[in-house]
Structure 1
Amino acid sequence: MPLNKFELQTPRLKIREISSQDLDNLPRVLADPQVMLYSTVGVHNREQIQAYIENCQQQYLIPGYGTRAIVDKVTNEFIGICGLHKENLDDRALTHLNYRLAVKHQGKGYASEAVNGLLTMAKDTLNLDCVSALIEPENRASVNVVTRQGFDYRNTTSFRGFKVDVYQIKI
């Protein structure tokens, strides 16, 4: 699974930095109420998506971190977003991952594949020993993704004013 500054590859996916070229792709995720149902920031309009892109580019200043685009490795079709983020939660530092897929790409194993790629990068490149996932309890599909990857439930807490369950995996 080669990694350079800009890109991570899995068997079917390319995970790359988000750029202004994604302004027309990101609404498939960020402006879709179904995809954003479990979100601490809600549905985005075009102006908010532009600001989101700029924020993502700032995130890349910390190597290996930040939200990235998930695209089909063969067709280059936009599938969704994922990434690793540093947070302070309940007075402790942690790295958590996130992912969101366009509706038409859900249920095809892409989320699990992206999570697996992020975990490999977290271990092999960032030398992390554990990664967390912060998931609203009602988001059963997301819980299923992380538990199938080996994450265990740790506790329930508040994140950005939302009740979340914290899942963690030792890598």
Structure 2
Amino acid sequence: MKASDDQALFQIFNDPKAMKFYLHTKSMDETKLWIQSVQNHDMSYGFSLWTVEKKGGKQIIGQCGLLLQKVDGTIEVELGYLFLQDFWGKGYATEAAQSCINHGFQNLGLTRITALIDPEHHASRKVVVKIGMKKEKQIIKWDKPIDVYSIQAGGVSVD
């Protein structure tokens, strides 16, 4: 993810429908700060979120990747993704999420990856279940119930 991705990501972050399960939409300034935080995370830990481009083109259609996240007082590696509405329901999130899981296990040597899913976000739940994640528990995070899904190394199909 780079600073010049700000316009493309702002299209997603400023869309109330795309951001329905997040705390709020983001302004352009907040989008720029988000990109900086993602870059800092990558420099510090060697992994982060990437932009997702449609095959055969340069159009950014979303973001997907791995970030550190506090879950019930423990630091976990979390899978996260967010896409433009035009690309929902077409398999892009599943493909990107599977690639990130594979990268985490094969290249980063991770042994466990989690996903934090709003219980009402049925499409996101479908993505993580499709890539082999299982629901572990429900916690309160961001002042609301959040389902914690996880997968262990060896529990994912490798392409």
TM-score (norm 2): 0.90
* 1:165 alignment counterpart: 147
- Alignment equivalent of 2:86, drawn from 104, 110, 114: 104
Deviation, 1:87, is 2.1
Which residue does the alignment assign to 2:28?
46
Structure 1: state its 5+ residue gaps. 1-17
Give the aligned length: 153
1:27 aligns with 2:10: yes
Code of the aligned partner of 2:10: P
CA distance in 2, matches of 1:152, 1:137: 13
Does the 8 A contact of 1:154 with 1:166 survive in 2? yes
Q: Which residue in the other structure is 1:115 paired with? A: 97
Instruction: Tell which has more relative contact order, 1 or 2 (C-alpha 8 A, sep 6+).
Output: 1
Deviations, residues 67-106 of structure 1 (Å, cap 9, x unaligned): 2211123112111011101122212221111000100111
1:149 and 2:119 aligned = no
Percentage identity across paired residues of the two chains: 26
* 1:86 corresponding residue in structure 2: 68
For 1:58-73, what aligned pairs fall within 5 Å after superposition? 58-73=40-55
User: Is there any run of 5+ residues in structure 2 with no aligned partner, and where?
Assistant: 154-159
Computed over aligned residues only, the root mean square deviation of the Cα atoms, in angstroms, reads 1.3
Equivalent residues in 2 for 1:9-28 (5 A)? 18-28=1-11
2:120 is the counterpart of 1:138: yes
Deviation, structure 1 residue 148: 1.0
Paired residue type of 1:74: G
Map of 2:157 onto structure 1: none
Is this contact kept in 2: 1:96–1:131, CA < 8 A?
A: yes
Distance 1:107 1:89 in 2: 28
Distance 1:128 1:135, change over 3 A: same
Q: Return the offset for 1:112.
A: 0.3
